[in-house]
Amino acid sequence: MAAPSAPPRARALLQQCLASRLQVKPPEPGSEAEWVEIQRGLVIYICFFKGASEELIPKMVNTLLNVKLSETESGKYVSVLDLPGNLLIIPQATLGGRLKGRNMQYHSNIEKEKGMQLYSHFVTLCEKELAANMKCAEAGVVVKYGTYGNRQVLKLDTNGPFTHMIEF
């Protein structure tokens, strides 16, 4: 029997996409909504729990960018760096919910201020890793990301969502 494991400090959900579009600024009187968009690549939904800290970020980024979940034209699975594919990062605090009766509770989620810092660090490190990767730089793949705390209005077009969850 497995030993009781420590509660996770972060949860990431991964979905492969052909294209994906995320609203980063809602429409307001006099201004239209703003969107970011990626073509083929990886959508990363991310949620931090209480106890998560900065030293977790390099491990998370390293794992998520190197796990072999991206399908090549020939059907082989490689990392998003090796595809090379684009990244769309979505802050998704709801992923930290736990069922209580008929409602979800979010007591384990990190405080907003701290979560915002970790999220920002996570995005920056993803950008650095893609920029430092020759294949990615040559292909011109990009990192796009949602605004922490916003409603994440998403349009997703997949060739098989291949939904995976990885906890840290």
For the bound state, the minimum distance from the C-beta of residue 106 to a second copy, rounded and expressed in Å, comes to 10
42, 60, 90, 136: which one binds a second copy (CB under 8 A): 90
Size of the site for a second copy (CB under 8 A): 38
Torsion angle, alpha carbons of 22, 142, 147, 78, to 10: 80
CA 11 centroid distance within chain: 9
Cα gap 107→93, rounded to integer Å: 11
24, 125, 142, 166: which one binds a second copy (CB under 8 A): 166
Contact 68, 133 (CB under 8 A): no
Q: Which is nearer to a second copy, 48 or 140 (CB)?
A: 48
The length of the chain in residues reads 168
- Binding characters for a second copy, 115-134, by CB under 8 A (x = yes): --------------------
Q: Which is nearer to a second copy, 10 or 69 (CB)?
A: 69
Phi first, then psi: give them for residue 125, nearest 5 degrees: -70, -35
Cα gap 37→86, rounded to integer Å: 10
Contact flag: residue 3 with a second copy (CB under 8 A): yes
- Give residues in contact with a second copy (CB under 8 A): 2-4, 7, 11, 13, 45, 63, 66-69, 79, 90, 92, 94-95, 97, 99, 102-104, 151-166
